[in-house]
Amino acid sequence: MARFSCQLIFTIVVLYANAQIDSVQSRLKEIQGQVRLDFSPEVAEKIHDHTFNGLQNIQKTLNRFFFYDEKLKQVFEQRGVPSELRYACISLSNCGQPTHKKSARKGWYSLSHQSAKKQGLFLSNYIDERFDVIKSAQAFCDVILEIQKRYQDWREAYVVFCSGDALWQKAKIISGDSTNDFFLISSHLETTFKNSYSDYVAAVYVADYFKRRELIQTDYRETTSVPIDQFITFDRISKKLDIDLIHLSSLNPIYKKRIIPDIDRLNYLKIPKSKVDLFYQLRDSLFTEINSDSTRHYPAYKPKSKSSTSGGIVNIVYTVRSGDVLIRIADLYDCNVSQIRRWNNIRGDYLRINQRLIIKKPSSQQAYYRRINKMTKAQKNNIIRKD
């Protein structure tokens, strides 16, 4: 009798699991658009992980996603990219909240520094437009559309976007494939990218599942962008306009250090619509006082000196080493990438090993900044972390 009961329970579990699989497969066929949504054990595992092990995290991610969903849909349709690919930000970055903080790819659609710059996004040691939802989506569309023209398959285009063309071609060679079998080639990708497609399919399914069951709680408080043409810190704005600092930061993720720097362009800040009138009433007083947090945060790590302007400007020489990029050097020297380009007559981002760059600094600060060129990589990383 006990043996029969165990067999019955096992049978019920198997039937329930099969019913669940059939349900998922059926729904994927219903919501499939231009991008094929193939079911696999990896898709089932990821869906289970979202809905059981990481339910709270996926709800937060989907709340962020659906706040921008209609605008994202418009971007993808306008650029001729299947609108269902807008869900890619869920699997790529948890909608701007990546698990791996050290990844070189950033923002809602996990763009590399090179791709972002090529698509015209503004990147500096204080601003990263890859975290601008709409601009990131536009750049993603342009990049993946170009890839799709070469591969003629949206699944391949998506995986190549994730892994890079070189790794996809390498996987193709290792697989010995002559029929362009998508799943066979994918299985030979590096572990990091092997499940890129199944993660995407699971993201599409879970987003649809939560939306149909009305499990989304989106904060629809209206916001407005206001122009900022001077240096200011989020801390000061938060206090003057009585806006929660964390909320202000979440509305403006492009500003990496809660600072709006004074650079040669007009910046914009998103604030609750209810605070717009107050912003314009207090605008003059926002910028007239040089408050203590300015000195503390911009730059965040700066040598002490009695006078930052006495003695004129001197040229500091920095020798480019392996792993250096302009944004990293700018962070070390508390300046802008555009300034380094101008001082050295550089047009793009390409640097040569042992290339000598000129950095202009007040003579009163030269003792500190000259030391940077002799620092180890670990010492430089420590300065950047403090920033």
As its CATH architecture, domain 10-122+130-212 has: Orthogonal Bundle (1.10)
Q: How many helices (H) and strands (E) does the chain have?
A: 19, 6
**CATH superfamily of this structure's domain 313-386:** LysM domain (3.10.350.10)
The answer to whether residue 317 scores a pLDDT higher than 50 is yes
Query: What are the structure tokens assigned to 214, written together?
Result: 């009305």
Mean pLDDT calculated for residue range 204-209: 91
Residue whose structure tokens are 């640097």: 351
Our CA angle for 369, 372, 378, nearest 5°, is 145
Q: Whole-angstrom Cα distance, residue 107 to residue 112?
A: 9
344, 305 Cβ separation under 8 angstroms: no
pLDDT category of residue 385 using cuts at 50, 70 and 90? low
Q: For residue 76, give the nearest of 155, 119, 156, 137 by alpha carbon.
A: 137
pTM: 0.70
> Which residues are CB-contacts of 365 (< 8 A; sequence separation ≥ 6)?
303, 305, 308
CATH 1.10.530: which residues of the chain? Answer: 10-122+130-212
| Position 294 pLDDT exceeds 70 | no
DSSP track, 38-69:
---HHHHHHHHIIIIITHHHHHHHHHHHHHHH
What confidence score (pLDDT) does residue 1 get? 45
Q: Which of 52-56, 208-212, 246-250 shows the lowest mean pLDDT across its residues? A: 52-56
State percent of the chain over pLDDT 70: 85
- Supply the pLDDT for residue 100: 60
Look at the chain and count its residues. Answer: 387
Residue 300's pLDDT is what? 38
Give the pLDDT band of residue 205 (cuts 50, 70, 90): very high
CATH 3.10.350.10 range(s) for the chain read 313-386
- Average pLDDT score over the chain: 82
In this prediction, residue 386 carries a pLDDT of 59
pLDDT value of residue 220: 62
